[in-house]
Structure 1
Amino acid sequence: MMEIVVRWSSPLPAEERFLRLLDDVEQGRFAAYRQEADKRRFLTGRVLAKTVAAERLGVPVESVKFDATCEDCGKPHGRPRIPGADLALSISHSGDLIGLAATPSIPVGLDVETTTRRADEGLIEYALSPAETASLAGLPAEDRAAAFFVYWTRKEAVMKATGKGLRIPLKSITFSRHDEPARLVFSGDAALNPATTRLADLKAADGYRAAIAVLTTDELSVTEEHWTP
């Protein structure tokens, strides 16, 4: 059994005690965001990640330095990691909720979405496999949207775990029904194998929906906590 803690936070204020935890590259990324909400979400994600990394590695949070170099383009917007450390991290945010999941060097993906998003037919056609689409048939509009985003957060989580993102066609993977425990039933892409993929739907917070995926054969035991610095 793999025990995982997902830590959630509201957006942190842009105060010196948090800003000083950003390195020069991160300071540049923070400054590049035009919207204050985006600045605070980025800051919160980094502070969450560095706090958890410090706890896991037994070092001061001020000493945690990430390499976020994108493997595709070389720019510093990739998944934050500490070279050589036994640690894998995944950050996700939506609205006023930011989340962080950590594992011991095992690929992990976290996704959170607000429940206010709409699911039009074009998005459903783009994202869901035939079996998943069929499971939405006959549902009232509100329930249909809720069910769709159960699938969507699961798909986003596994995409993040593989590191391939949308290079894996969303329709090529099929999950268990939206009203059943999360499980990868079928994958048409070699990067995802149902035998070595584990998922869990998360509670997150009122007004949100979330999921976590880990590329492992171990079953997951996930604890969620809301963090106040």
Structure 2
Amino acid sequence: MIHVLHTRFEERLNTRSYEQHLRMLPPCLRDKIGRFQNWKDAQASLLGKLLLLRGLKIYDLDHLDLSDLAYSKFSRPYFGHGVDFNISHSGDVVVCAISMTGRVGVDIEAMRVVTPSDFELFFDAAEMQRLAQADNVLDEFYTLWTKKEAVMKADGKGLSIPLKDVRLMGNGCAYIENYCWYLEPLDLYAGYKVHVAADFPIHDGITTGQYAFEEVNL
């Protein structure tokens, strides 16, 4: 089972609400968020952590503190304790996938106009052909992109693995080397593409929940 929590912010939180939410985080994360120059990046980072706190409550793990987060050598955050999570944001949407079944990754992208030929380094010949033949090139591009990104984020090795090396299969699976990852799309918001990846079968095993953070009392 995977829980995917998500929220959308169309405007900046007022200062009082923002500061009170921020105080729910440990000093190390508050400092990190404070270094963002763009308010949207800072707010997305804050909301991602609040979604993670919500997710921990779902699994009765709210005794865990975000100061307990550790980081792999590839800078992927983790708790241990049998729980795995991943956070992604794009535009004004933030999503957090959390599970106690295995490794998870999630990627969301706001579908802005792109030129697929600019991304040949990231797609193999068959994928470029799919883009060339697609009726809706934009939709196909972001389908491929979010699948690959979700798998890479679940795998956790980051940019040490070229995006082209994530091999997408036609059966809802993807491979990095010989390791199988399962993929599932989510339809959360118009104009956004979302995929979830896991190292276990996830078809119909995803629960989603939307949250608003205007209120201070969480």
TM-score by length of 2: 0.84
* Stretches of structure 2 lacking an aligned partner (at least 5 in a row): 214-218
Deviation at 1:210, TM superposition (A): 0.6
Deviation at 1:136, TM superposition (A): 1.9
Does 2:155 match 1:162? yes
Q: 1:66 to 1:205 in 2, by over 3 A?
A: farther
The equivalent of 2:98 in structure 1 is: 102
Deviating beyond 6 angstroms after TM superposition, the runs of 4 or more aligned structure 1 residues are none
Higher RCO by CA contacts (8 Å cutoff, separation 6 or greater): 2
CA contact (8 A) 1:90 1:109 kept: yes
CA distance in structure 2 between the aligned counterparts of 1:218 and 1:112, rounded to whole angstroms: 18
Deviation at 1:38, TM superposition (A): 0.9
Q: Which moved more, 1:91-100 or 1:126-135?
A: 126-135
Task: Pick the aligned partner of 2:124 from 118, 121, 129.
Answer: 129
**SS of residue matched to 2:208:** strand
* Stretches of structure 1 lacking an aligned partner (at least 5 in a row): none
Q: 1:219 to 1:138 in 2, by over 3 A?
A: closer
Cα RMSD over matched residues?
Answer: 2.3
Q: 1:72 to 1:34 in 2, by over 3 A?
A: same
The equivalent of 1:172 in structure 2 is: 165
Deviation at 1:220, TM superposition (A): 5.1
TM-score by length of 1: 0.81
CA distance in structure 1 between the aligned counterparts of 2:83 and 2:140, rounded to whole angstroms: 32
The equivalent of 1:201 in structure 2 is: 185
CA distance in structure 2 between the aligned counterparts of 1:70 and 1:119, rounded to whole angstroms: 35
Q: Which moved more, 1:104-113 or 1:90-99?
A: 104-113
Does 2:199 match 1:215? yes
Q: Could you report, residue by residue, the CA deviation over 1:92-119 in whole angstroms, capped at 9, with x for unpaired residues?
A: 0000000010110611100000011413
Task: Pick the aligned partner of 2:48 from 45, 48, 65.
Answer: 45
The equivalent of 1:17 in structure 2 is: 20
Query: Identity of counterpart residues, as a percentage?
Result: 25
Residue type matched to 1:169 in 2? P
The equivalent of 1:65 in structure 2 is: 66
**SS of residue matched to 2:114:** coil
**SS of residue matched to 1:150:** helix
CA contact (8 A) 1:79 1:89 kept: no
